[in-house]
Amino acid sequence: MFVSRGALARGRPGSTSLLRSTGRGEVTEDPKESLEESEDELELELHSSNPFCSLFLFISASFMANTATRSFLQVAATEEATTPLRVVQIEGLVILKIIKHCKEFSPALVTGQLLGLDVGSVLEVTNCFPFPIREEDEEIEAEGANYQLEMMRCLREVNVDNNTVGWYQSTLFGSFQTVELIETFMNYQENIRRCVCIIYDPSRSNQGVLALKALKLSDSFMELYRSNNFTGEKLREKNLSWVDIFEEIPIKVSNSALVSAFMTELEAETPVTQCDFDRLQLSTSPFLERNVEFLIECMDDLSMEQQKFQFYYRNLSRQQAQQQAWLQKRRAENMARKNAGEEPLPEEDPSNPIFKPIPEPSRLDSFLITNQIANYCNQINGVAGQSFSRLYLMKALHEN
């Protein structure tokens, strides 16, 4: 672990700024305005690398010494309130980088790190860098951690926001809801207060839709996962169903003024862009076919999970019946003994195997599969809707 200091310089030259919000909603001013006001900014960064998942630990505590409102000690004493995350604000640069990385390696699945700032209810993502494809070897883990350290250090030297806010990954036809995703989320959540995962689907983007999604695990699900208890009772208690696992957060895109000026000039003069060509493509059957294939596979998995539950319930009821029978026998015995004047035997016998509680199968897998199926269905709906429009358009054109 090492501690380093540095001041982030961002934005207009000639001003130092620190964009970190603290305090119970007291930082209501726009962080960009506080450029001029804040004088004394420190940023402490603690780094430690977790060898198991090669993650970064960034705990940045920032203290804004704005003597007009409150004293230094007061600020240090107030706790950070967690305002709920409402919007993820991505820069155009990040989108282009993600697309480039995912497309280059498609169909292989790739991941990368997101960097940015956490401001109030908005999570700003201002830069990102890709991860190299990781081998399964254990010794490469250290290399991966080194790569991350190196990249973060280098990016900090050019004043890029050096703060991990999550990661991105590419997916194939939307089948990203796996246990690994949840585990990665839990790992990140331990270290960073607010993190988000951005999912990009390159195959769907070929249809002309920008398939970018920002996901977060819902808080209630995270608590449940920590206790690792997915029995039906617990879930009913918490009123948690499969829709509640992942929370999708709306994405906003922002661009700096310079980039905006460039794009305005460089915008293609043609009235129709590549995007339109993709959207107006008539053949969607390969995409739909694969979607339905995946859907069928998932249904098979789901039915297997269902069978597990059925099995469990059948065993449970059988065990209950056995218990009842045994209890009856015991009671009869006790009656006989009471009549004979002897001590009644206890009505329970923990050593008897029929009293052993059967573990309930975890519902986590079935929830994840259900999520995937729902996703496929949504995609099919979307593409079918587009196809309808196209077919009617074709019909109208032909008639003319």
Partner 1 sequence: MASSERTVLQLIPSAARVSARVHPLVIFNICDCYVRRPDQAERVIGTLLGSVLPDGTVDIRNCYAVPHNESLDQVALDIDYHHNMLSSHQKVNPKEAIVGWFSTGFEVTGSSALIHEFYSREASNPVHLTVDTGFKNWETTIKAFVAINLSLGDQQLAAQFQEVPLDLRMVEAEKVGFDVLRPTNVDKLPNDIEGMEASMGRLLALIDDVYKYVDDVVEDRVACDSKIGRFISDAIASLPKLSPHAFNKLVNDSLQDQLLLLYLSSITRTQLSVAEKLNTAAQIL
**Residue number, 75 or 363, with CB nearest to partner 1:** 363
Query: How distant, in Å, are the alpha carbons of 7, 24, 73 from that of 77?
Result: 22, 11, 6
What element of type H or E holds 52?
Answer: none
Stretch that binds partner 1, among 90-98, 116-124, 166-174, 335-343 (CB under 8 A): 90-98
* Cβ-contact 114, 164 below 8 angstroms: yes
| Helix spans in the chain (H) | 34-37, 72-77, 92-105, 139-157, 179-191, 202-205, 219-227, 232-238, 257-266, 274-279, 285-340, 364-399
SS3 for 171-216 is: CCCCCCCCHHHHHHHHHHHHHCCCCEEEEECHHHHCCCCCCEEEEE
Window 279-298: residues binding partner 1 (CB under 8 A): 279-280, 288, 292, 295
139 binds partner 1 (CB under 8 A): no
**Residue number, 194 or 308, with CB nearest to partner 1:** 308
72 binds partner 1 (CB under 8 A): no
Per the DSSP assignment, residues forming a β-bridge with 87 are 122
Window 20-49: residues binding partner 1 (CB under 8 A): none
Kindly tell me which residue out of 23, 92, 120, 247 binds partner 1, with binding defined by CB under 8 A: 92
| Cβ-based neighbours of 336, under 8 Å, separated by 6 or more | none
Minimum distance, C-beta of residue 114 to partner 1, in the bound complex (Å): 15
> By CB under 8 A, how many residues form the interface with partner 1?
102
* Cβ-contact 114, 166 below 8 angstroms: yes
Amino acid at 377: C
236 binds partner 1 (CB under 8 A): yes
373 binds partner 1 (CB under 8 A): yes
Minimum distance, C-beta of residue 338 to partner 1, in the bound complex (Å): 29
* Cβ-contact 300, 372 below 8 angstroms: no
274 binds partner 1 (CB under 8 A): yes
Window 335-364: residues binding partner 1 (CB under 8 A): 363
**Residue number, 81 or 259, with CB nearest to partner 1:** 259
Window 182-221: residues binding partner 1 (CB under 8 A): 205, 208-210, 212
Stretch that binds partner 1, among 67-75, 155-163, 215-223, 331-339 (CB under 8 A): 155-163
**Residue number, 75 or 246, with CB nearest to partner 1:** 246
Kindly tell me which residue out of 31, 130, 166, 174 binds partner 1, with binding defined by CB under 8 A: 130
Q: What 3-state class would DSSP assign to 168?
A: strand
Minimum distance, C-beta of residue 190 to partner 1, in the bound complex (Å): 26
Quickly tell me which residue has 């250290």 as its tokens. 142
Stretch that binds partner 1, among 6-14, 22-30, 52-60, 77-85 (CB under 8 A): 6-14
What gap in Å lies between CA 308 and CA 313, rounded to an integer? 9
